[in-house]
Every structure is written in C-alpha cells, then in structure tokens.
Amino acid sequence: MNSHPWAGKPAPRSMLVNVPELISAYYTLQPDVAQPAQRVAFGTSGHRGSSLLRSFNEAHILAVTQAVCDYRREAGINGTLFMGMDTHALSWPAQLTAVQVLAANKVDVCIAANFDYTPTPVISHAILTHNRDGDKKCDGIVITPSHNPPSDGGFKYNPPHGGPADTDVTGVIEARANAILEDNLREVQLLELKSALQSPTLHYYDYLTPYVKDLGNVVDMDIIAQSKIRIGADAMGGSGLSYYRAIKERYGLNMEVFHDTLDSTFSFMHVDRDGKIRMDCSSPYAMAGLVALKEDFDIAFGNDTDFDRHGIVTKSMGLMNPNHYLSVAIAYLSENRSLWKKDLAIGKTLVSSSIIDRVAASLGRKVLEVPVGFKWFVDGLLHGTIFFGGEESAGASFLRHDGTVWTTDKDGIILNLLAAEITAKTGRDPGEHYQEMTDKFGAPIYARIDAPASIEQKAVLKKLAAEDVKEEMLAGEPIKAILTNAPGNDAAIGGLKVVAENGWFALRPSGTEDIYKIYAESFIDATHLERIQDEAKAMVAKLL
C-alpha cells in the first residue's frame, strides 16, 4: 500500500471536518434500515459510523440506548451505569441523547462533572471498583469511535465485568436496536433534554480523582517521580485531556503535556498513511509530530482519542512498534512484580508478534493465544489467571501490584506510564530493552496489509477449515500448524493462521469494510516477509 502524499505531514485546513455540519446531520438525517450500512452493527469495538453517511445519527443512539436499558432489565443489572465520552464532535450530542433515554428508563447514570471527557479505561476502573465494594451490579457505556477520523462517532457497552461486551451481549443489543429502528422508534422511552438533565437519576461524578489517586497501585509512580526523567505526554486532543496534567501534579513528574485542549477537528494531527486524519498512536505517520521531539525527552508517549491505546516514543527507536513494546512490557513486569504468582499466564492475540512467545518461554510463562479482540482477556484479568493481556493494535492492560484486577479494558495510560517506570528504574528506555531482546530472540519484521474482498468472499474466508490449505511449505519452510481456532481457548479465529519455524501469516475478513487483512511476520528478513505475504495472497486466491 503506497503512502498518501500528505502522509506524515501536518493536516491542511482543507482536510478538517466541518463540525456544525456533522452535528446538524446527526439530528436531521434519518437512517434507512433497509440499507445494511445504516443499521446498528456492533463490531469488536461497538457500533461506529458517521452522521453524514446516516450510520451514526440520533435515531441510532435512541435505539441502541433503549436496547441497552432493555438488556439491563432482562439481565438483572440494577446498579449505576457509568458513562463516558471522548472528544469526537459527535460524542457530545450522542451523550445527551443517551441521557434522555436512560433518564426516561430510570437508570442511575454517572457522567463526568461539568460534562467533561472520560477515557475508556477510567470507565472500566469505575465499574470494577464499585462492583467490588457494592451490592448492585454496575456497568457502563463509552461513546467513542476510538482512533477513527474526526467525522465518526461510536458507542460501546461494557457489562459488569468492566470489559468489552462479548457477542452474546452485543448480538442481543444489536438485534433489539435494529428492531426498534424498524418500528420507527415507537418503543423508545424518552424525556425531553431539560427534564433529563434535572432527573434525580442523573449524577455528576468525579472520575478523574479516584483513577489518578489509584495509579500508584498499578505503576511505580514514586520511582518515576524520584528519577526526574524528562517525559513528553501527548494527550492528542483525546478524552484524557485533563488526566496527564492531574497525574503530573499529583505525583510531581517532570512531564510536559501537549495537545490537552479541545479541538474536535484535530487540526494539530499529522496525516495518516492513507491521507486521513486518524488519531492512531501506533501509526508513525499520525505520530510524526511527537517523534520529531524524541530527543527532547527520556521517554515520550501518546494515546488515541479514548485513551485505551498507547504509543511509545523513545530516543533509541522513535515510535515503537506495538508488538515490540508489548514484549518489553511483559518481560519487565514478569521480573518486577514480586507479589504476582509465578504461574500467571500472558494473554496475546494470535496476530501479535511471536517474539512474545519466545520471551514467555524464556520466563517459563504460559501464553494464552486468543482471537482478535480484547474481550478474550476479560476473564483472565478479572480472576487473576493472566497478568497481562495485549493485542497487536497497541491495546493492553495488566494487574495491580498485589495481583488483583486493574481494568478489564485496554488502558493506554498505564502502558505509557509503565514505559516511564521502565526508563526510570533501569536507566534504559524500552527501545533499548527491545534491541537487547532481539539479540537474544531474533529480530522479527511484522506487517499488516489489506486487500479488497466482497461480502461473499469475506463469508468464505470467515469459515475456512485447515484442510482447505493444500500447501505444505511457507516461504521455503515446512508448515508446522494451520489454525482456524485459537490455541489458547479454542475459539474460532474467523479466518486462518499458517505457521512455520521462522514466519507466519494470518488472514481475517474485516467486519466493517470490504477488505480482508493479512498479518505476517518473519524472523529472517524483509525479503522473507514479502515472500510470506505473496504466498498468503496466492493461497487466498485459490480459496476464493
């Protein structure tokens, strides 16, 4: 995939989204439920869309919020619902709509004081904290499309376990929401906005203070403060606008904070590879601004818009590949959390780097390899059977110092602060640790490419069986395994993974776009990686 001419450059004004147009379309455009693209559709991270495309409009939020209320009643969930939103332009009106429905359904709801913004991991933290101490089951909603372009909106539901809802929940909510849309919203319970905002069931809650205060129980904040290392924290205009400054003040960190004021056009961003503004903290193109400052700091980092992903910038390597940082974090945590049990496993998605497996083997740790999606780590983190859950797209979380759960959703804040802890405690940044790691385990080259696929072709790819692959060799090496189910939990991959000694590829159809994705890795060189990718595409062509 070739880079767009603007990739890695500051976004031109002509590329900025028209915020009034977006919000007007949210209220005035109506979805056509006969069009699949305009229905409610929960992917791995909730329902996403754009008001301009009639895929994220007031009708969608009315329907899906009512569907959540119906699900809660049926599931016996009667505690507080914690709701947060990010800084995408559509998040504000979507939260107001959701409040109107929740108030009419007499659901106790906590939103941030002063209508502030709230990171995804903070909602998970609040749910788990209150479920630990209370007798009623709490759950949550996060209004965010994650790192998607500024024109998009998103809606996620987190059940009482605090993590992303699984398909047994999202399937019910999605079906109910679409039925409500098809019935012209007649079953939606709704209060006018003024009454909803004055409802006794709506509570304005301080999310920031308890989360920031608790950080010392999951990251060694004292050693970071005492070291006086220079830290650069890029809030990237996201939902954690207030959080890094509060962390700096509470713990006395030598930290400079960037882009911590609201700008829903995200005009400060550098353009991503495909020519779009995308707040992807794992993209070297989107993160070009912070990478240019790497010599000014001992460690620097950024987050996507809902702060569930991390982006680590080091002097030694610039922006680290998420896979590389995950392997460093795993090794460091395994050796520097003395209260953790030695039999705790490591959770990784099957498209994450195999260097994690090699690191785990050296540590004597079991690897739980699961399909794509953070939901697969919820149970292990909640019950303390894994100490770390991480996925290739820069999302991870880990346990508290005492081995109990911190969050069951991705937490980009603690992964960034862990990079500062590593630097402070060892005197070397995570990039230097990774380079040392490759001397021991090899230096993998990892890439993901996308290819077009029709709905029919995606359906074929999703249902592949191991016997469909007739090849016995991959890039000159014997094929060791052909997987259609994840070895960690035997759950269906929704695609295929082919493994050889020094390389592998996995393919998965996209749930939201007419493409399929090929993830590939080589422990030999770039030429070997290209050969793996070419052979993967050739295999797919035969299968289709």
Cα–Cα separations (whole angstroms), residue 84 to 112, 134, 181, 519: 7, 20, 24, 32
**For the segment 28-51, what is each residue's pLDDT rounded down to a tens digit?**
999 999 999 999 999 877 899 999
What's the whole-number mean pLDDT along residues 1-15? 91
Model pTM score: 0.96
Residues 472/456, Cβ–Cβ less than 8 Å:
no
Angle between helices 430-441 and 412-426 (to 10 degrees): 80
List phi, psi (to 5°) of 109. Answer: -125, 135
Q: What local confidence, expressed as pLDDT, does residue 3 receive? A: 86
- pLDDT above 60 (res 392): yes
The residues assigned a catalytic role are 146
Angle between helices 58-75 and 167-182 (to 10 degrees): 130
**For the segment 432-481, what is each residue's pLDDT rounded down to a tens digit?**
999 999 999 999 999 988 888 888 889 999 999 999 999 999 999 999 99
Q: Report DSSP letters for 451-518, one per residue.
A: EE--HHHHHHHHT--GGG----EETTEE--EEEEE-TTT--EEEEEEEE-SSEEEEEEE-SSSSEEEE
Question: 271 is written with which tokens?
Answer: 């353009």
State the Cα–Cα distance between residues 172 and 378, nearest whole angstrom: 19
**For the segment 290-322, what is each residue's pLDDT rounded down to a tens digit?**
999 999 999 999 999 999 999 999 999 999 999
Q: What local confidence, expressed as pLDDT, does residue 1 receive? A: 57
State the Cα–Cα distance between residues 141 and 239, nearest whole angstrom: 14
Question: 76 is written with which tokens?
Answer: 């016996």
Domains contained in the chain, CATH given: 17-206 (3.40.120.10), 210-441 (3.40.120.10), 445-543 (3.30.310.50)
Q: What local confidence, expressed as pLDDT, does residue 512 receive? A: 62
**For the segment 175-187, what is each residue's pLDDT rounded down to a tens digit?**
999 999 999 999 9
Tell me the pLDDT of the chain averaged across its residues.
96
State the Cα–Cα distance between residues 41 and 55, nearest whole angstrom: 9
Which amino acid is residue 67, in one-letter code? A
State the Cα–Cα distance between residues 514 and 83, nearest whole angstrom: 32
